[in-house]
Structure 1
Amino acid sequence: MYGYGSFYNFLDPTFLLVIAGLVISGLASAYVNSTFRKYDEFRSSKGVTGTQAAEYILRSQNINDVGVQQIAGDLTDNYNSGNKMLSLSEATAQSTSVAAIGVAAHECGHAVQDAKNYIPLRIRAAIVPVANIGSSLSFPLIMLGVIMSWNQTLINIGILAFSLALIFQLVTLPVEFDASRRALSILREGDMLAEDELAAARKVLFAAALTYVAAALATFLQLLRLVLLFGNRSRD
């Protein structure tokens, strides 16, 4: 039977994977924040706010069942397909910056995806509850398997449960990149931003997209760590 000493011997080296994931996520978060701050000083020539841009985009796409509201927080912008509500953070809603308009347009991109039944968006919505349950149960299952004389079946179920979080992250990537693509296309067609402003908005959205890539990579590293620690180990 594996003892606690053996467990901790295997725990320490792989913790470097967790650290690497945290560093990658931290760098991505710092980059998107610094990029947003930079272009938040870049006022749009049209002088429209993030809220006005969102309302215009929704009207231009004949989306009349989505509301727009301001919420507290910084970069807490989101679109909820369940209640058809587009929420813009304080840093976005009333700002006339290119960064704010870009972020608002990105969230509108999700509303457009919803209206057009974009398949990856539907898949992501279906995966959310399963991924949440899997993430919650994975570590208890793995620990229970270790306690029960290294029950490999239970451990493997726990690892598979955690892998659902990675699947969710991977499905999220095309959804987010497509929303940004739609946003930039609508802004260009609507002549809401000049060419140099569009280039700035593209940089903001690219930086935001990197946070999702970083999240997927960090989740993969965590999954790899679990596999290295607990995968396919036979009892002594």
Structure 2
Amino acid sequence: MNPKAITFDFWGTLFTEGPDFSAKVMPARYEALLDACAEAGHPAEEAEVREAYRQAALAFEEAWRAGEVMTTFDRVARIFALLGVPYDPGLVALTARRLEETSLLAELQPLPGLEAIKTLARKYPLAIVSDTGVTPGRLLREHLRRAGLLEAFQAFSFSDETGFVKPKPEAFHKALEELGVEAQEALHVGDLPHTDIKGAFAAGYPWAVQYVGFRHENGQVQPTRVIRSHEELLSLL
């Protein structure tokens, strides 16, 4: 492998949510939704909010697997509909923003070998190509800043900003255009075969490395290599 640039997935490749997420972030999200219901004059019970949140999360998963972007605004609008809260776009937007901001309440957990990113950045232009959920790209940048890694990346393609989810080639091409590199000159690193590996090859990459330091999923498309730590990239390259 002799790439001119490297793109990375974010979730499950660089970071995961970590132990504080369930303890700090989720209660804050439920609280934000309960407050919004009260503001709308339609109070709800926490159990109802939790169930509506769960159903909206399933809808997000379905949309993602269908290659569609479901924004946090869309998710909150669905939650309100499930709870019978009257539709108010201003309140939906405000609540969506509140849900997004909760992600900053917990530090993300770095995955094995993350310290190699700074070493790679000294030799290669790096970019992130990532699908986003409730936490949008602007806040993923903040998490990178907190980890001291924001400056290591020269380009970003987050689905909430581009409108494209992996494995759509456009998701990858957006980042490559910012880097000024052709797909046939790039390497992608990600954990999911059906989005990262399949998508990178579909976008024209000659190399796609599957990262299994967090989880190992099998897929129909075989990666160029499999690594358990980003440190392994240093020797591969």
**TM-score range relative to shorter protein:** under 0.3
- Per the normalisation by structure 1, the TM-score is 0.26
Higher RCO (CA-CA < 8 Å; seq separation 6+): 1
Q: Which has the higher strand share?
A: 2
- Per the normalisation by structure 2, the TM-score is 0.26
Asked which structure has the greater CA Rg, the reply is 1
